[in-house]
Structure 1
């Protein structure tokens, strides 16, 4: 394709741009020959080296004896050379042609392969429990050798951000003698670790200074005490002291989310137990250590605090036992309470179709959350009634807007919410 066109042939207001869909390597080679950067001798060397590289690539990914594999290997080689030249020259045709002239074709192909291997070696997820495996590299490389430069750059940016978040999270964890093994075994997200560090820096900097990473029971006690003091939510966050400068951007990126959560966390009207429940959306945004002994101790203390002179606590009714059939996990109970509020048959498990039908019913006829609260007070075991009410009230606060929205035409948001919070089977 010619590089210039006769502008007089097309009206200025309707100028057309021709799109050159050739791989960048093809453009560079043609440009280099046309401009005299690549002479006949160098072109002959390139033509001699190309088949060798194609056979090597075909052998690496499969077989060099099958024509389809050789054709795919040719595409891989052209793509890797194009990728390397685009990345190292910024798309400058003259610089790329000089690179082809002064270096072997196989070295440019290897350069693209090395770039992709480094990309694949970068973390694909910021979750410490989702580390990559070396045996998957060949299969991933096979995929990426056929991807475009734009796709490479987008993935490189995404993975670089993940790597930065992991590095910052590891630095924070090291300040509290938490090693990577603990983060991996807990399946912690790097962003959740960072947000927790920022949250504790805002709520209890003395605990941070003492190197005490929060566990669930201790964190609940801390927030309860702050609520009693009616401490206002901070309007700005301080970064952890000593945070290296290169980690500041990725940590600062989480400040907005923490500032948005702080008012709800310190609002005594919002049930704290519901916020901190293991499967809740709030808890998923933060990383709190599990301390089973502390949780058991807290449970026994709450029982001891009950007034022994009070009337015996209400046992579960026959209707409760029959309806739940022993399914007393949070997902099953929220499903039951939702059915009660929507006025549909009581179930602890919904199919996808039934869940969609329930949402449509709520949007057409509305729902009555107090009905579920009344059912809890009338039939649930007395010792758990407060917890169940907190669970239900928290769900209502979080889910009302999504379940009753007229903008979610395809029910995507509503069904995603129910899959996360309730018991919905595919």
Structure 2
């Protein structure tokens, strides 16, 4: 039959919608992106179904629950991470640097490919049920051990704990891609992250010195609003924002009832917003004075790094909440806070561009995000144990990410790190 003889379609005929063959994979990908963008607790099965353009009933035919989708993605990311650092059999004959380079390239490639969901592993995995959490933790522990061993083969003089610190730094610097949407083509992005990872491996750390103890700020009981904020941040850090109620905050602060909280804050969302405001204000307040008292951009950026690390060690819980709970900030405040975050990163990146004139604007922003993320990840992995990861080391590793690999020379061996 010729085209001219083909019968015209019936305008009243019902269109036949064919179910895609990869429907389960499509559902998994869309739900993972939603979890990463909004957080596990802010996404419902109805939201996922709407995003896919299907009914909730159709969605439940493929997955029994929202948790099944969430756990499935985190388990997949864990398996991908192990695969990224696993070497092929032929690598047995490769030199140590090539073996480590292969693993670093694998981590970068998989992270770029999974960029929209990789943040789940950092901030949302605490909401996994215990059996799944153990499995995911084992995956990442295996990958960390493999990468540490590869770093040790390149730098055999390093003690085991320092190899692990550098391995955590590599994963952290690369996974920063999940926390922002700075656009850079895949190839230059891979090159940039590769350089940052090698800088973390190759830089020499200072001999550990006694760090000042974290500031213990005693809040008078008369300052109820400050007391509430302090206890709210601690509970958000320990349990996650969705698992904390206003009654929990009131009890922790020693208030007689929930109604006492509402004299100072409209609810726990208001408390979270106040915490974000405080963290943002402390980052922005130091920029002007630091620029005014610094002679060069490098000096200013170095001072900002020092102050940022000092603040992060003194208020580790606040910094963690600032990174982990952004999706739960009330909608009317999130846009304002995002502008503040971008301004801070832009100020740091502007200084970095003067120190490293060859960097593009996007590259500078990515390196700043990677450096800032190091602090919270070291706190997340090593806690408050400065004996294992002193703040002087964190400062030096942030500088390595920002300023690049150390210049080769005879002085490099003189600064070799010793065990704390």
Which structure has more relative contact order (CA 8 Å, sep 6+)? It is: 2
The structure that is helix-richer by fraction is: 2
Q: Same fold (TM over 0.5)?
A: no
TM-score, length-scaled by structure 1: 0.24
